Each structure stands twice: as C-alpha cells, then as structure tokens.
Amino acid sequence: MSTNNHPTFYLTTLAFLLAVHFLDAQSLQLLNKPAVVRQKMDSIIQFHQSDYHVTGVAYAIVRKDQILAENGLGIADIQANRPIDAQKTTFMLGSLSKLMVATAVMQLVEKGQLDLDEDVNNYLKALKVPEVSLRQLLTHTAGFEERTFARLRLTEDNFLSLEDYLRKRMPTQIFPAGTLGAYSNHGMALAGLVVQEVSGQSFEDYVEKNIFTPLGMSQASFSLNEKSRAQLATPYLIKKGKPVKTHYEYVQTIPAAMLIGSARDMAYFMTAHLNGGVLHGNRILSRETLNILHQRQFSGHPEMDGRALGFFEKTYRGKRGLTHGSNRNGFIGYMHLIPEDSLGIFVAINGGNSGFRTKVINEFLKEIYPEVTQESPDFIEAEGLQRFAGTYLNTRRNETSMERIFHQVILARTLRVQSLRDTALFFSNEVFKMEKPGLFSIPSGSFKVAFSEENGLPTLHLPGRSDAYQKIPWYGQKGFTVFALGISFLSFIVLALFQLLRIFRRKKKKMNPAATYWWAFAAIGLLFLISFSGSMAVVAEHIQYGIPFYFYLIFLLPMLSILFFILALFQSFSRWKELKISSRWGYGYLMVIGLLFLWQMHYWNFIGFNF
C-alpha cells in the first residue's frame, strides 16, 4: 500500500527554505549598523596587520547605494609621517584596471558600437591579431601566451603609444581562442585599444569621461603624473620584516594595469556595480547590461567557479562572489563583490604580504555569513586515471621566446599529479576522487577541480581565478633541463681545460682542425652558459623594464655555436678513418653532447634574438 508523502515533503522543504532565509536575514543584520561594521573591520585589520607586515591599509565596504564603512590605518609615507586617508590617499591598483576595461567595453556594447562575439580585427584600424572576440579577451580565454619582458618602465621615457606597443610586443596565440583560461595583460590591453579605436579618444580620456566623472571618482586616474602623485602612497617592499621604499612602475599595457585610485573611488565604483549601474543619479550601465557583465562566461566545469567579464568567481560560505586582485610593485589590492546581497569590499595596502587582503576580507565575511555545512559527495568508480599522472604547467606561460625557461624552469609554475592505484589522484597535498565524469573533489567536497583533454593534452582546470594547467613532456621539465644543461656545462669545462692543458704542456704545437673546432664549440657554449646565468642573476628583476643591450651580444653565441658544431662535425667525419678508437669515442661523445646542447638552445628559444 502506498502512502502520499507529498505534504510532508513540501512542509519539510518550506521549513528548510524559511530557516535559510532566517539565517541569511539574521547574518545580514550586522550590515544595518555602519558603526559596528567599521569597528569589526578595523579590529580585524589591526589584529592581522603586524603578522603580514602591512605598512598602510585603506578599505571600503558598501551595500546597495551606501558606503557602510571606510577607513585608513597605518602610514602612507614613513619619512613624511603621512597617515593613510581612505578618501584621499591613492594606491596603484594594477590589475583592478581590468574592471574598468570590462565596464567600458560593456558601455559600448550597450550603445550598439561593439559586439562581444565579433572578431576584434573588425574594430582595429592598423593592428592585426589572430581571430579573437571581446568576450574571450575579457575572460582571459583568448589563448595568448604570457609576455613580461620590457612591459614595464621606471620612467615615462621611451613610452610607446598603446597601439605601437601592441603592434611591437603582442604575444603569440598558443591556444585556440575560447578553450582555456590563460591570464593575459596584453589581451586586456587589446580590449582597451578596441575601446580607444571605436570611441575615437584615448582609453584614459574615455574612462575619465564615462566612468570616473559620472561616479565622482575624483582621485582616480590612469596617468602617473604630478597631479596623481600628490596623494599617492609610497610603495614599500618587506625585507627581513621591515618596509623598504621601492619605486613606482609605469606599465606599457596601460588599460590592464595603470589604474590609480583611493578607497573612496573604489567604493563609488563598487556601488555602481551593485546598485543597478546608478550612482549620484548618474547611470553608467543598464541593469540588464550589468547582469551580462556579472554572469559566468567561462568555467573549466559547470559545477566549478569560473569567470565573468573582467571578474573572477569565488564562492565563499555559500555566497557567489565576483573578485579581482592586484599586485603592483609595493602595492596590493583586492575587490570582492557579492551581487546577491549588494555587498562590496575593497582593500588596498602599500607594503605587506599579499595574503593579508584575502585574509581580512574572509574574516569579515565570517562575521556576516554562517558556515555552510558541506556534505561529502558520492564518488563514482574511475578508470584510466593513470593518463592524468605527470607534471602540469600553468597556461599563463610563454612558448615562443626566451621567457619560456622562466615560466617552465626558473619560476617552475608546475603541479605534480600522481595516480593512486588508478582510483584517485593526488596533488597539492590532497586526494581527489571522481564525483562526476571529469569532475574531481577532495573527500569533504569543499574543493573541486576538473580534468579534460584539450588540444590533445590532459588539462587540469582549477576554480575561479586560477589558470588551467597542462601536462608537459619529460623533456620540458625542470629536472631534465638541469641535467641537460648541467652535463653540457661540465663537458665543455672538461674539454676546454683539457685543450688548454695540452697547449700549456706543448705536447702538440698545433691541434688538428677537428679538435680546434670542438674546442671552439665548447668554449662558445661555456661562455654562453656562464654569461647568460651570470647576467640573469644580476638583471632578473630588471629585465621586465627593458632588454639590456648586451643581451644581443650574449645571444650571438648560440648562433656561433651552430657554426662551429657543423665545422667540427665535418672535420671529424672527414678524418674518421685516421682517428684512434679513443678519439672516435671522444668525438662521438662530443657529437651527442653537442646535439643535446643545441636542442636545448632551440627548445628554450635561445637561437636568435627571441626576446
């Protein structure tokens, strides 16, 4: 006999929804008391400020059309003893610039002057790029490689126009557009150039007229000049726990990274985004357009946090957030919006550890939202997980210039994935089991990742802000590179010393041509490895400001080594029958080492001036 349980089910569901609504309403009551909000945030900041060596901090918390709290704590300039003022003190806000780009693009979309899915080449006048859309540029899925060398300047000297810079330094597209997330300053700068071309005015002027002025962002600017420097905080780097003054940076990808502004400026910007596009009676976007801007546009898996236009999703305590961070020499910032509750938080510091920004925001959100109980998911049996085991490299990387070795070896932006008895995967000190095809999570279910096959390569997708990771072959990994270049270095040193010793002892007045060319090849290879390693130890932190002239001399050496390797091979083979067995073994070994060395030069783009 069956029993109708529908009323019980409906009552249980209704009770649950009412309980959730009650908890949400109760948790948001704090936001009805601005004085308490400020007290809470001040105490959180003061509690963590010394632990993260924060010199000065400004913040703003807004809800709907109201600034709930804003304050400045700490020092804007130590030498002048100038305190932080949330309304006046400005910070270099780096990548938060990208939110201005997204907003500007959507203004022109709303006016019918741009289409998110149109090839941007249709909007560009002189510059030509691979086919890519504005939607892909604004979600960092355009497939461009990373390029950092010569992107920054210490002064405005030799600054190129945005169009000229992108024409000269636009990165190569290494992934098909729309397939993978790969954070790109150049891609976002390209979107800024589209705004510039279509509007008929510079990007800086467009944003000033259509975003800053209507919203009353009086301190905001994209120009580091005498006026904007007046209230700018001094940047500090923390060394041995102490703040050390550093320099301002000028960034060639201006739309992507040159925003300057105060906490009050960012409060107004957040309010406009949370209040249907309106502030002070001025509308910068329609509510419908804002909804599109805030919607998820891309994700590695439908059940993982992804990317909106300009923003990155971050779910915390069950609340979907839209976030973006910034990290500019001596300046760190972060913005976290919760559109569902019309809540926005901004934090900026001028010296300290980057973990501070998310720490204080998360601590504040804990005061508002109750902890969400995460049920452990039901896992399914998985097969063939061994194919995912290996070393994975971040998609924010370079493949076509000498920068490749920095991302793949020196910075080592890699993850090591292991297969556990073909039933689970292990990486980042966590065990991941398959929840759904392609979707994996840790046993608690609180952190999810996805695996897929992209462009024939196993690909790991992380939630939200993080870029994807792709499996790389053994010969592109750090261990093999260190071995290959290390054994080449040792072999060159031994050969060079051996030949010098022979000359010194005068056992032979003259070396045979093959030995001469092998010695020259080894000497040139040795000189390159020493000069490149030495120069990078000296200028590694400064090469982002420009390529030193002597790099062109250094990178002549791999090209010369090819010439002498060919000459050495020719002489060795032409005299092969005359050689002793020991000499044949010696020359054979040098051929193998020579091929290994030159292949490494080719793989890391060291042959030619690939800067």
Three-state helix/strand/coil letters over 305-320: CCECCCCEEEEECCEE
Three-state helix/strand/coil letters over 54-86: CCEEEEEEEECCEEEEEEEEEEEECCCCEECCC
The model's pLDDT over 163-204, given as tens digits with 9 standing for 90+, comes to 999 999 999 999 999 999 999 999 999 999 999 999 999 999
Average pLDDT rounded to a whole number, residues 77-85: 97
The model's pLDDT over 348-360, given as tens digits with 9 standing for 90+, comes to 999 999 999 999 9
Show the tokens assigned to 565. Answer: 């390797």
Beta carbons within 8 Å of 56's beta carbon, 6+ residues apart? 72, 73, 74, 75, 76, 83, 84, 89, 233, 349, 350, 351
DSSP 161-192: PHHHHHHHHPPPB-S-TTSS----HHHHHHHH
| pLDDT attached to residue 15 | 44
| pLDDT attached to residue 16 | 42
Show the tokens assigned to 441. Answer: 């999570």
Average pLDDT rounded to a whole number, residues 580-598: 93
**Range ranked top by mean pLDDT from 62-66, 148-152, 498-502:** 62-66
Q: Is the pLDDT of residue 497 over 90?
A: no
Who has greater pLDDT, 453 or 392? Answer: 392
Least reliable range by pLDDT among 35-39, 74-78, 151-155, 280-284? 151-155
User: Given its phi and psi angles, is residue 429 left (phi above 0), alpha (psi -120 to 50 degrees) or beta?
Assistant: left
Q: Residue 506 corresponds to which amino acid?
A: R
Neighbour tally for 294: CB within 10 Å: 19
Q: Is the pLDDT of residue 14 over 70?
A: no
CA distance 512 to 327: 58
pLDDT class of 62 with cuts at 50, 70, 90: very high
Helix, strand, coil shares, percent, the chain, to 5: 45, 20, 35
Residue 523, Cα to own-chain centre: how many angstroms?
39
Beta carbons within 8 Å of 42's beta carbon, 6+ residues apart? 71, 73
CA distance 310 to 293: 8
Q: Is the pLDDT of residue 507 over 80?
A: no
CA distance 92 to 42: 22
The model's pLDDT over 457-470, given as tens digits with 9 standing for 90+, comes to 899 999 887 789 99
Q: What percent of the chain has pLDDT over 90?
A: 77
| pLDDT attached to residue 25 | 52
DSSP 337-381: EEGGGTEEEEEEESSS-THHHHHHHHHHHHHHSPPPPPPPPPP--
What are phi and psi for residue 453, nearest 5 degrees?
-105, 115
Closest CA relative to residue 95, chosen from 344, 268, 331: 331
Q: Residue 611 corresponds to which amino acid?
A: F
Q: According to CATH, where is 3.40.710.10 located in the chain?
A: 27-368
CA distance 475 to 172: 22
Q: Is the pLDDT of residue 2 over 80?
A: no
The model's pLDDT over 16-46, given as tens digits with 9 standing for 90+, comes to 444 444 445 556 888 999 999 999 999 999 9
DSSP 211-272: IIHHHT-TT-BS--SHHHHTTBPPPEEEETTEEEE----EESSHHHH--EEEHHHHHHHHHH
Total number of residues shown for the chain? 611
Q: Is the pLDDT of residue 508 over 70?
A: no
CA distance 530 to 522: 12
Q: Residue 427 corresponds to which amino acid?
A: F
Show the tokens assigned to 306. Answer: 């992804």
Show the tokens assigned to 16. Answer: 């649950």
In the predicted model, what is the mean pLDDT of the chain? 91
| pLDDT attached to residue 364 | 97
CATH number corresponding to 27-368: 3.40.710.10
Beta carbons within 8 Å of 82's beta carbon, 6+ residues apart? 75, 76
Q: Is the pLDDT of residue 587 over 50?
A: yes
CA-to-CA separations, 318 to 20, 351, 372, in angstroms, rounded: 11, 31, 6
Collapsing DSSP to helix, strand or coil, 142 comes out as coil
CA distance 584 to 591: 10
Q: How many CA atoms lie within 13 A of 163 on its CB side?
A: 13
Q: Is the pLDDT of residue 423 over 60?
A: yes
pTM (2 decimals)?
0.92
DSSP tag of 468: P
| pLDDT attached to residue 373 | 82
Residue 593 burial class via C-beta count within 10 angstroms: exposed 0-12, middle 13-18, buried 19 and up: buried
